[in-house]
Amino acid sequence: MTAAYLRWAVEGIAKRLVDAYRSTGADLPFGDPLPSHGCEMEGWFWRLTNGASDRVVVGLCSVNRHPDGDWATVAVALHPGGVVRSAALDGAEAESSPFTVHAGTDPAGSFAAATDRLRIDLDDIHLNLRFTDLFQWPKAFGAAGSSPRSRF
């Protein structure tokens, strides 16, 4: 048995253990909670505010895995105006590396997100955002609050 083989075997076992742990929805200490965990239901939430104009945009997506086909619950809310739209979209997929989430193919109902972008099309609401100047939030124990943030 060579050292390279032992390293390969240990890395494979460690990856399977980490993947099994993350599939419960948990994160390793100081880990990144952003990528998909591969669990039955997981979600992402964006809240953007502009204090000068009192505007707020909230977007969310949960990917729900099911043997008959994965689907997503997607919503967007805008203030002022009290606008809220939500939908259940088929064809949901969430990837870990690189982080991407997408669902729906109909122009009246689709969702796509990555570390640097968010696009939501629901009925008459069309949100298309690009995030720049990203910086990694400090990783706390248990990974709370460690998702990428964009400076305003």
In the prediction, which pLDDT does 38 show?
A: 76
* Nearest CA among 91, 131, 95 for reference residue 111: 91
Q: Which of 6-15, 25-34, 125-134, 135-144 has the lowest mean pLDDT?
A: 135-144
pLDDT digits (tens, 9 = 90+) for 61-120: 999 999 999 999 999 999 999 999 999 999 999 987 788 999 998 877 999 999 899 999
Going from N- to C-terminal start, the domains of the chain cover 3-150
Tokens in use for 137? 């939030």
Residues 6+ apart with CB under 8 A from 137: 145, 146, 147, 148, 149
Q: What backbone torsions phi and psi does residue 96 show, to the nearest 5 degrees?
A: -90, -40
Mean pLDDT of the chain: 83
Is 150's pLDDT higher than 60?
no
Strands 93-95 and 83-90: unpaired
Enter the pTM of the model: 0.74
- Which residue would you say has higher pLDDT here, 60 or 22? 60
Is 59's pLDDT higher than 90?
yes
Q: What's the 3-state SS for the chain?
A: CCHHHHHHHHHHHHHHHHHHHHCCCCCCCCCCCCCCCCCCEEEEEEEEEECCCCEEEEEEEEEECCCCCCEEEEEEEEECCCEEEEEEEECCEEECCCCEEEEEEECCEEEEEECCEEEEEECCEEEEEECCCEEECCCCHHHCCCCEEECC
Is 149's pLDDT higher than 70?
no
